[in-house]
């Protein structure tokens, strides 16, 4: 198990859609284990493959940040099949260190995915879990949280990021 480097905005890999996983092999298992270790070390509650520079449709989530094994989810080829409601709340992203923005997301989502053996799984999430599932699956489509806010807010966030990159504080 290895802790991988987390890719930061504006690396192009973060803006590219991922490809479906077709081989459920040891390599996939190893990548998933490394992503879980990387998410826990960060620490974070979710991590998608592009954030470690990979283009597989794979993400990991753990709202307990390692405290409760039952909360760990490894989702292969996930997609949101239902979304209900809309709530605005503050969120962050490991690819945007220390940047918190208010983002609208569904209040409840239903996600279909596969496990590491290729078996179909279905997850219903509300509130923070819905937000996290939606955020991570967005990553797999090359969509970032700054893409979910108004152009004005996006501009402000980009300016802030540019200043921090120039100050080498990113």
Residues that bind Zn ion (CB under 5 A): 93
Residue ranges in 8-122 assigned as alpha helix (H)? 26-41
State yes or no: is 22 an active-site residue. Answer: no
Residue ranges in the chain assigned as alpha helix (H)? 26-41, 127-140, 151-166
Q: What separation in angstroms does the CA of 122 have from each of 76, 86, 128?
A: 11, 21, 17
The single-letter DSSP state of residue 112 is E
Smallest separation (angstroms) from Zn ion to the CB of 26: 27
Smallest separation (angstroms) from Zn ion to the CB of 147: 11
- Evaluate whether 26 touches 44 at the Cβ level (below 8 Å): no
Instruction: Pick the closer one to Zn ion by CB: 21 or 96.
Output: 96
- Evaluate whether 87 touches 148 at the Cβ level (below 8 Å): no
Task: Please identify which of the residues 16, 30, 107, 136 carries the catalytic annotation.
Answer: 136
Instruction: Pick the closer one to Zn ion by CB: 61 or 76.
Output: 61
Smallest separation (angstroms) from Zn ion to the CB of 19: 19
Smallest separation (angstroms) from Zn ion to the CB of 21: 19
**Considering only CA atoms, which of 56, 54, 55, 58 is closest in space to residue 46?**
58
Instruction: Pick the closer one to Zn ion by CB: 116 or 134.
Output: 134
Instruction: Pick the closer one to Zn ion by CB: 47 or 76.
Output: 47
Which residues are tagged catalytic?
Answer: 136
């Amino acid at each position: 198990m290895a802790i991988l480097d987390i890719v930061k905005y504006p690396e192009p890999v973060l803006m590219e859609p991922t490809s479906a996983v077709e081989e459920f092999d040891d390599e996939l298992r190893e990548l998933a284990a490394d992503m879980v270790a990387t998410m826990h070390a960060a620490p974070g509650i979710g991590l998608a493959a592009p954030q470690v520079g990979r283009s597989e449709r794979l993400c990991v989530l753990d709202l307990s940040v390692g405290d409760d094994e039952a909360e760990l989810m490894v989702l292969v080829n996930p997609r949101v099949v239902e979304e209900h409601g809309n709530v605005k709340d503050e969120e962050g992203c490991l690819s945007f260190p220390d940047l918190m923005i208010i983002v609208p997301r569904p209040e409840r989502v239903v996600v279909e995915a596969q496990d590491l053996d290729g078996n179909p799984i279905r997850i219903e999430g509300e509130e923070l879990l819905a937000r996290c599932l939606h955020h991570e699956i967005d990553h797999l489509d090359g969509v970032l949280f700054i893409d979910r806010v108004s152009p004005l807010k996006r501009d402000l966030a980009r300016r802030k990021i540019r200043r921090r990159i120039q100050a080498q504080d990113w």
